[in-house]
Structure 1
Amino acid sequence: MNDQMSVRLGLPLLQVGQAQKEVSHNEALTLLDFAVQPVVEAVGLGAPPASPDLGACWVVGPAPTGAWTGSGNAIAGWTSAGWRFLAARDGMTAWSRADSAFARFDGSHWRVGEITGAGVFVSGHRVVGQQQPPISVPTGGSMIDIEARAAFAAVLAALRSHGLIAA
């Protein structure tokens, strides 16, 4: 391999006059195969599986052992030539089969199943936005029916439990 790598994914670059360019080229293609639309079997494993399928990938845990030592948080892919590692980059996302959710690398940890954003839109209409200030549960007064008060309190509790309004 050569010492020059691509800036974003650390893929090996071909060099002028390099012998056996196909080795660097094939290594880069293998890593790209793991990096583009990645699907991993699981996130956070500490040791490699005993008999992985060809092409299967995992997100390595932060303190790996065995053949994964020194590759914490990387995407490890099994090839016919052994393990290949793709270092995690801030914002990298992979689908985790074990969790049936996306995992996103935040620069130091893989976050599984967390979705961040400024709002949720359905058919172009915002249905969820930023969390609003708390709504007080009504108390006292002679005009409010006890059942209506209980129903309103249940709605508020549900909205709070979903995180749509503050507690």
Structure 2
Amino acid sequence: MSTPNLGLELVPSNSLQPSVPINDTLQAIDALLQLAVVDKDLAAPPTTVESDSGKRWIIGPAATGAWTGKSGQVALCTGATLWRFLEPRDGWEAVVLDEGALGTRYRYIGGAWSAV
């Protein structure tokens, strides 16, 4: 079972290892609060190293490689060439850092990210 707004996994009442869903949920919260992404136009995942952990991208159209089938989703780097994907929901907002001097704000509505 998951939460209705962010899709965060809830800890089952009879869980023997509650740290697994709790850690997974904390990682998602850390990625989504104050969402600022490196880029939103890349179709292929960039080469990442361990120190890139926590950086996020909005996956561009016609995604390839590890991002295949994930266009429009938020890709969270969790380690060297390791990814976690977060499917956006209507109303999510992100600042795209590589656009403009202060970044550009985008909102996800109806299956697409649009500048606000």
Q: TM-score, normalised by structure 1?
A: 0.61
Residue from 7, 11, 14 that aligns with 2:8:
11
Residue from 33, 36, 40 that aligns with 2:33:
36
Q: What is the aligned partner in structure 2 of residue 94 from structure 1?
A: 94
Contact 1:46/1:60 (8 A) holds in 2: yes
Q: Which amino acid aligns with 2:106?
A: A
Identity of aligned residues (%): 37
CA drift at 1:6: 1.2
- Write out per-residue CA displacement over residues 42-101 of structure 1, whole angstroms, 9 at most, x where no aligned residue: 113211101251111000124321111232211111113821111111111101111111
Q: Distance in 1 between the 2:94 and 2:6 partners?
A: 15
CA drift at 1:19: 2.3
SS in 2 for 1:43: coil
Q: Distance in 1 between the 2:20 and 2:13 partners?
A: 14
Contact 1:9/1:86 (8 A) holds in 2: no
- CA RMSD of the aligned region, Å? 1.6
Q: Distance in 2 between the 1:66 and 1:44 partners?
A: 15
Q: What is the aligned partner in structure 2 of residue 27 from structure 1?
A: 24
Runs (5+) with no aligned partner, structure 2: none
Q: Which amino acid aligns with 1:92?
A: W
SS in 1 for 2:94: strand
Contact 2:37/2:56 (8 A) holds in 1: yes
**Pair 1:49-2:46 in alignment:** yes
Runs in 1 of length 4+ with deviation above 6 angstroms?
A: none
Q: Which has the larger radius of gyration?
A: 1
Q: What is the aligned partner in structure 2 of residue 143 from structure 1?
A: none
Greater relative contact order structure (CA < 8 Å, 6+ sep): 2
Q: What is the aligned partner in structure 2 of residue 75 from structure 1?
A: 74
Q: Distance in 2 between the 1:28 and 1:63 partners?
A: 28
